[in-house]
A and B are shown apart, each in its own frame.
Chain A
């Protein structure tokens, strides 16, 4: 299945991309998606996304599934489905 991913701020700048389309197997979890992207997008990107020791997303990384923070769904164990939109950002502020 295809999962759409949008990247913002430093994640976008580091990867040089603002959107990705990830091919995932049915029933994949958010954790699997994050690990896949972090690996594919290079070392600098991974450093911004994941804790180097625990391999878990850093606390200041916001991960939304269809606009809702993952912690209000099933966290990193949230099951993804075809057409889901995942947003990843490390900064959020007004202007």
Chain B
């Protein structure tokens, strides 16, 4: 029976002259791990020995599609899985656009790249023909130039590519991968791993198509999903205003990172950085990823200030928070320009804004002086300084040599008490949803599988918005109760399953859980209901936890909440609230309990066996 997998894994060893191999996709493997995140989790677990240096040639970069990739549903991201050079733990990073379906159309579910090329190369996948081409002349170019040059060289503007910029080449530990047409796999520093392999890009042209096990059932589920999206206020809000439509909400609730997370309210947020301002001063047209009806992205052009004419992407919510308010900057065009620079250098704007906010606080406290910063007057609000700092990080020069290591390593290098206001968990810079006004978020951030991340559980919906979840109702905002930890666990399993289908999470607010299950079942021919999807999510989450356990993760690592979040929030409706150690430990205990892990956060033999992971029980420490 036909199914929606392409049926092939492409293996590339960059060290070898003839290092390309193709392997059939084992359908038992597919049925156990689904795709995307699940595929990457298991492959990484099997390929990477404990304590491997992320920049070792042995660390693979794994591009994964999923069973719904290449279909008409908004499930067309890809994920890159590798051992993160930022955290030293598992990492999965996602991007939309149209690279992922192209990979599937070329005939591959997964591309595994390992080794290190002696000289810069890019991988050219033209359906069945796969070759490594010299990246001489492309190395050193920014992401926009790289995409253009590769398409020119291949003589086909319909080719899709995923590439790195100078930041990836220079191993900035939060370097991104930029994929057609400039959607970024942003977090965890995957771009630096590509750079360490002398791999500038992966270009692909695919002319095949994706089969469906039951086209009629798929069509029914598809139109149901479309209806659900059109009825969803969240989806419609994304369509009109993109993610910055939530700036006003976050700021009103004291959740908006301000001046290196000191506060949660920025008085100029709504008037300068939100969707209304961006629509008025920046946006010129809309953009939708492959087959997505939401169209949350906007393309803009700067019309004021020294950068008139520069084309920019939407400034996403996260970036408004980290590059804007977190650095005390309300000059929209300057933030747009800094963000465009991040995209071109290939820098994660979340980590970049976080590390610059920290630099500004160091400067204001006299820990870093002008002479340390190439003469920059790096006080909060100085957008000129921010722009220069982005360039210095992207080029790894001056203070950028240290800042490009990420805020944890930079603060360790600078010292003088700066570690106390370095805002990260497990070395990953905290994103723009800090926890003091939404305490369940503390556990979601601390127990994310890839460091400190809001996309592995987002609690404001349940703690502030009054949203229900499948196993309970909403929560009183500041309460500390077991169900909050259980809700985080559900969010993680839920997202883990969806990311294995390479779902864009902006569609999840519209498409209902049973509809995803119906789409998956119709595409693969397997009868999988939502409860079973959750089991998949839990299995995948536990494989990743075991990978991280091998790397040393435990209760102590999960408990490394930044000191700032243990101090009272200065403003907003949750003014005065903080995350106490006592509250955090209660939530953590309940979280481990709901996961079936021991008190130290280690999965138990019973739990792994229950999830059909008996084969990795042997890796539990005796």
Collect the chain B residues with CB atoms within 8 Å of residue A31's CB: none
Collect the chain A residues with CB atoms within 8 Å of residue B432's CB: 95
Contact A91/B236 with A6-B252, A8-B252, A18-B248 known, Cβ cut-off 8 Å: yes
A82 to B454, CA, bound (A): 36
* Smallest CB gap from A63: residue in B: B466
In contact, B254 and A92 (Cβ under 8 angstroms): no
A60 to B231, CA, bound (A): 11
Collect the chain B residues with CB atoms within 8 Å of residue A60's CB: 233
Q: Distance in Å from the Cβ of A64 to the closest Cβ of chain B?
A: 7
Q: Distance in Å from the Cβ of B417 to the closest Cβ of chain A?
A: 32
In contact, A91 and B237 (Cβ under 8 angstroms): yes
In contact, A95 and B573 (Cβ under 8 angstroms): no
In contact, A85 and B474 (Cβ under 8 angstroms): no
* Smallest CB gap from B319: residue in A: A95
In contact, B237 and A69 (Cβ under 8 angstroms): no
Collect the chain A residues with CB atoms within 8 Å of residue B461's CB: 92-93
Contact A68/B476 with A18-B248, A93-B246 known, Cβ cut-off 8 Å: yes
Label chain B's interface by main secondary structure. helix
Chain B CB within 10 Å, residue with most, of A64, A87, A91: A91
Among candidates B270, B477, B505, residue contacting A67 with C-beta atoms closer than 8 Å: B477
In contact, B237 and A9 (Cβ under 8 angstroms): yes
Counting contact residues on chain B (CB < 8 A from A), the size range is 35 or more
A6 to B574, CA, bound (A): 17
Q: For chain A, residues 1 to 43, give those with C-beta under 8 angstroms from any C-beta of chain B.
A: 6, 8-10, 12-13, 18
In contact, B572 and A93 (Cβ under 8 angstroms): no
Q: Distance in Å from the Cβ of B419 to the closest Cβ of chain A?
A: 28
Q: Distance in Å from the Cβ of B255 to the closest Cβ of chain A?
A: 10
Collect the chain B residues with CB atoms within 8 Å of residue A94's CB: 243, 246, 317, 433, 454-455, 458, 460, 505
Q: Distance in Å from the Cβ of B271 to the closest Cβ of chain A?
A: 9
In contact, A91 and B233 (Cβ under 8 angstroms): yes
In contact, B248 and A8 (Cβ under 8 angstroms): yes
In contact, B254 and A67 (Cβ under 8 angstroms): yes
Among candidates A12, A18, A68, A91, residue contacting B234 with C-beta atoms closer than 8 Å: A91
A10 to B236, CA, bound (A): 8
Collect the chain A residues with CB atoms within 8 Å of residue B253's CB: 64, 67, 87
* Smallest CB gap from A7: residue in B: B248
In this assembly, does B241 line the interface, its C-beta being within 8 Å of a C-beta of chain A?
yes
Chain B CB within 10 Å, residue with most, of A6, A18, A69, A72: A69
In this assembly, does A78 line the interface, its C-beta being within 8 Å of a C-beta of chain B?
no
A67 to B478, CA, bound (A): 10
Collect the chain A residues with CB atoms within 8 Å of residue B464's CB: 62, 64, 67, 69, 92
In this assembly, does B244 line the interface, its C-beta being within 8 Å of a C-beta of chain A?
yes
Q: For chain B, residues 573 to 607, give those with C-beta under 8 angstroms from any C-beta of chain A.
A: 573-574
Contact A68/B233 with A62-B465, A92-B460, A95-B244 known, Cβ cut-off 8 Å: no
In contact, B270 and A18 (Cβ under 8 angstroms): yes
Q: Distance in Å from the Cβ of B332 to the closest Cβ of chain A?
A: 17
Q: Distance in Å from the Cβ of B467 to the closest Cβ of chain A?
A: 7
Number of A-B contacts (CB under 8 A): 98
- Would you give the 0/1 interface string for B218-245, flagging 1 where the beta carbon is closer than 8 Å to chain A? 0000000000000001101110111111
Q: Distance in Å from the Cβ of B573 to the closest Cβ of chain A?
A: 2
In contact, B573 and A9 (Cβ under 8 angstroms): no
Label chain A's interface by main secondary structure. mixed
Counting contact residues on chain A (CB < 8 A from B), the size range is 20 to 34
Q: For chain B, residues 434 to 454, give those with C-beta under 8 angstroms from any C-beta of chain A.
A: 437, 454
Q: For chain A, residues 46 to 73, give those with C-beta under 8 angstroms from any C-beta of chain B.
A: 60, 62, 64, 66-69, 71-72
* Smallest CB gap from B437: residue in A: A67
Q: Distance in Å from the Cβ of B551 to the closest Cβ of chain A?
A: 27
In this assembly, does B207 line the interface, its C-beta being within 8 Å of a C-beta of chain A?
no
Collect the chain B residues with CB atoms within 8 Å of residue A68's CB: 476-477, 573
Q: Distance in Å from the Cβ of B591 to the closest Cβ of chain A?
A: 20
A67 to B245, CA, bound (A): 18
In contact, B248 and A95 (Cβ under 8 angstroms): no
In this assembly, does B29 line the interface, its C-beta being within 8 Å of a C-beta of chain A?
no
- Would you give the 0/1 interface string for A71-95, flagging 1 where the beta carbon is closer than 8 Å to chain B? 1100000000000010101111111
In this assembly, does B509 line the interface, its C-beta being within 8 Å of a C-beta of chain A?
yes
A64 to B460, CA, bound (A): 13
In contact, B318 and A95 (Cβ under 8 angstroms): yes
Collect the chain A residues with CB atoms within 8 Å of residue B242's CB: 95
Among candidates B243, B246, B458, B477, residue contacting A69 with C-beta atoms closer than 8 Å: B477
Q: Distance in Å from the Cβ of A80 to the closest Cβ of chain B?
A: 15
In contact, A13 and B234 (Cβ under 8 angstroms): no
Q: Distance in Å from the Cβ of B325 to the closest Cβ of chain A?
A: 14
Contact A66/B573 with A18-B270, A92-B246 known, Cβ cut-off 8 Å: yes
Contact A13/B240 with A62-B465, A68-B477, A95-B318 known, Cβ cut-off 8 Å: yes
In this assembly, does B469 line the interface, its C-beta being within 8 Å of a C-beta of chain A?
no
> What are 19 contact pairs spanning A and B, CB under 8 A?
A8-B249, A9-B249, A67-B253, A67-B254, A67-B572, A68-B477, A69-B465, A69-B474, A85-B573, A91-B234, A91-B245, A92-B249, A92-B460, A92-B464, A93-B234, A93-B238, A93-B458, A93-B461, A94-B433
Chain B positions within 8 Å of A, measured between CB atoms, are 233-234, 236-238, 240-246, 248-249, 252-254, 270, 316-318, 432-433, 437, 454-455, 458, 460-461, 464-467, 474, 476-477, 505-506, 509, 572-574
The 6 closest A-B pairs by CB, nearest first: A67-B573, A95-B243, A95-B317, A91-B237, A92-B465, A72-B476
Given A64-B464, A69-B474, 11 new contacts (CB under 8 A):
A6-B248, A6-B252, A9-B249, A12-B248, A18-B270, A85-B573, A91-B233, A91-B236, A91-B237, A93-B243, A93-B509
Chain A positions within 8 Å of B, measured between CB atoms, are 6, 8-10, 12-13, 18, 60, 62, 64, 66-69, 71-72, 85, 87, 89-95
